[in-house]
Amino acid sequence: MAAFRWGMKLDNVTGILTILAIVIGLCFSMAVTIWNKSIDARSTAGLATDGYALTVLDNTRTHLVFTVMYGVTLAAVTVLYQIFAGVLSVFWGKVASAVIVGGSIYLLALVLQALGYFQRVFHVLKP
């Protein structure tokens, strides 16, 4: 099932699912770290009144949670694609393949942005 008659579609998505699991795990661990830093910052005397530091922490935490939720949704779509790959018509096979590839590229952009936020947090929290 490597190709449809008028175009290509994804053949085996196990590699994509593996990469998604690794990336989602990375983002989840970053979210937990930022969550702990946020709690610690609110109980630290110097940072509890620093509005910029708390805003950076909150924005980073929100972005990481969104990235994890988006990644889990993309993984679910990829699993559904694998389950129904044999019964999809040519049109829907192309659409689903495009959604998975485009969604994976967007997830990569979200992760790169999250790494930038992560670096900014530790720059702000530097003693």
Residue 6 counted as domain residue: no
Average pLDDT score over residue span 41-46: 80
pLDDT band at 1 (very low <50, low <70, confident <90, very high): very low
User: How many distinct structural domains can be found in the chain?
Assistant: 1
Q: State residue 11's pLDDT score.
A: 67
Evaluate whether residue 2 is within a structural domain: no
58 part of a folded domain: yes
Q: Is residue 31 part of a domain?
A: yes
pLDDT digits (tens, 9 = 90+) for 60-108: 999 999 999 999 999 999 888 888 877 777 777 788 888 888 999 999 9
Contact 76, 32 (CB under 8 A): no
Considering the domain boundaries, does residue 5 fall inside one? no
Phi and psi of 5, rounded to 5°? -65, -40
Largest CA distance in the chain: 66
Answer yes or no: is 8 within a domain.
no
Looking at the domain assignment, is residue 1 inside a domain?
no
| Residue span of the structural domain in which 96 resides | 14-124
100 found inside a domain: yes
What's the pTM? 0.81
